[in-house]
């Protein structure tokens, strides 16, 4: 590329750069909202406009005569998923949001090159539904979307910093290690997918057994069974997030509970009194995890001891009154006629 061609390409890039930034912003926002709406958990959605140096290098390497018309990835978006199954789910989202011009599947191709990274590549445009002044200046621009799992992304990012750019340039004594590592990550991705499927089945079985039974069965305590129990006991309350449920599960097991049925009996026995305390002490209703934790604090001495120990250990001035607050709650619990009938030493 001579000096005049280089200068012309720079001018073309600078004239297009701002529009591509706007395009990346719109596409990223639309994708994030659609993924959340579909309940697809993802690691990240990022975007970038190709740098001027990268733009010029690609023109030189590809011998482009009309780079803005021939280059599809000036604006690029990357979606990093958690599991293999999400790749197809994101594909459906892309098809519903944008006009997909081409799709390249580098995951299911026959041979995965050592230095090629696995992902799905899409060349897209905004769809006909994107109308109005907000989109007029970007509606005809193409953009690339790469969709990969978090392990695929790890391999791509790590291998990007290696000095070998193709398989032929690798020393033979390293080639096998590179191929083995790439294969190891691919197998790990499949195992994560298998664990995800097994976890989903476990959660479904727990909900079926606990929600559909007349009485809570004597099941193992784990995050799935606690999740199902909270749905059963507090169906009108917000549930709380997965991290909160996991922490609550650990607390229950730590104080000696081993059977979900025994937890259910205590929650059920204190339910009316706990609801009365909640209405007196909280301006808004608690979510399921918070209400269940408060119920066990009021109804079980060992759980109460653990709760106070962990709370006071935080050394947070705003939590200094928790111990007296709990004491005041307990006085009212006894006034309202509730007495502890079981300790965790006797359950499970």
Whole-number pLDDT of residue 165: 57
Of 292, 312, 19, 30, the closest CA to residue 142 belongs to: 19
* 179 has pLDDT over 90: no
308-316: average pLDDT: 83
Neighbour order of strands in the sheet with 42-49: 42-49, 75-81, 143-149, 120-126, 98-105
321-347: average pLDDT: 76
Rg (CA), the chain: 28
Whole-number pLDDT of residue 344: 42
304-312: average pLDDT: 90
Contact 82, 149 (CB under 8 A): yes
Residue 275 CA from chain centroid, whole number: 33
Alpha-carbon gap, residue 61 to 98, rounded angstroms: 29
Whole-number pLDDT of residue 345: 42
Whole-number pLDDT of residue 249: 96
Q: What angle do CA 325, 328, 331 make, to 5 degrees?
A: 155
Compute the mean pLDDT over every residue in the chain, rounded to the nearest whole number.
Answer: 88
Q: How confident is the model at residue 162 (pLDDT cuts 50, 70, 90)?
A: low
* 114 has pLDDT over 70: no
Q: Which of 33-47, 54-68, 158-172, 264-278 has the lowest mean pLDDT?
A: 158-172
In order, the DSSP letters of 43-104 are: EEEEEEEPPHHHHHHHHHHHT-SSHHHH-S-SEEEEEEESSTHHHHHHHHHHHHHEEEEEEE
Instruction: List, for residues 17-66, the tens digit of each pLDDT value.
Output: 999 999 999 999 999 999 999 999 899 999 999 999 999 999 988 889 89
Collapsing DSSP to helix, strand or coil, 148 comes out as: strand
Q: Where are the alpha helices (DSSP H) in the chain?
A: 3-37, 52-62, 67-70, 85-97, 133-136, 150-160, 172-211, 223-233, 242-254, 260-281, 288-299, 301-313, 322-335
Residues in the chain: 348
* 219 has pLDDT over 80: yes
Whole-number pLDDT of residue 115: 43
Instruction: List, for residues 65-85, the tens digit of each pLDDT value.
Output: 899 999 999 999 999 999 999
Question: Structure pTM?
Answer: 0.71
284-310: average pLDDT: 94
């Amino acid at each position: 590329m001579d000096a005049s061609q280089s200068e012309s390409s720079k001018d073309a890039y600078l004239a297009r750069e701002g529009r591509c930034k706007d395009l990346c912003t719109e596409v990223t926002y639309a994708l994030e909202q659609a993924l959340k709406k579909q309940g697809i958990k993802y690691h990240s959605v990022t975007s970038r406009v190709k740098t001027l140096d990268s733009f010029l290098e690609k023109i030189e390497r590809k011998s482009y005569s009309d780079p803005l018309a021939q280059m599809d990835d000036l604006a690029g978006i990357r979606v990093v998923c958690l599991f293999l199954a999400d790749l197809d789910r994101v594909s459906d989202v892309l098809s519903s949001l944008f006009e997909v011009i081409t799709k390249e599947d580098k995951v299911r191709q026959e041979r995965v090159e050592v230095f090629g990274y696995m992902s799905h590549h899409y060349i897209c445009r905004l769809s006909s539904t994107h109308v109005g002044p907000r989109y007029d200046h970007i509606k005809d621009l193409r953009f690339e979307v790469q969709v990969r799992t978090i392990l695929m992304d790890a391999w791509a990012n790590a291998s990007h910093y290696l000095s070998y750019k193709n398989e032929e340039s690798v020393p033979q004594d390293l080639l096998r290690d590179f191929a083995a590592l790439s294969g190891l990550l691919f197998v790990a991705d499949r195992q994560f997918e298998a664990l995800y499927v097994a976890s989903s089945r476990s959660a479904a079985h727990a909900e079926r057994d606990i929600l559909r039974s007349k009485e809570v069965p004597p099941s193992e305590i784990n995050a799935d069974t606690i999740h199902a129990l909270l749905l059963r006991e507090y169906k009108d309350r917000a549930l709380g997030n997965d991290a909160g449920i996991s922490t609550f599960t650990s607390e229950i097991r730590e104080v000696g509970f081993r059977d979900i049925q025994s937890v259910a009996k205590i929650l059920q026995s204190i339910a009316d009194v706990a609801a009365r305390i909640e209405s007196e002490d909280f301006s808004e209703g608690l979510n399921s995890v918070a209400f269940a934790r408060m119920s066990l604090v009021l109804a079980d001495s060992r759980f109460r001891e653990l709760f106070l120990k962990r709370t006071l250990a935080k050394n947070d001035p705003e939590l200094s009154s928790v111990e007296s607050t709990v004491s005041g709650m307990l006085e009212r619990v006894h006034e309202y006629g509730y007495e502890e009938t079981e300790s965790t030493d006797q359950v499970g």
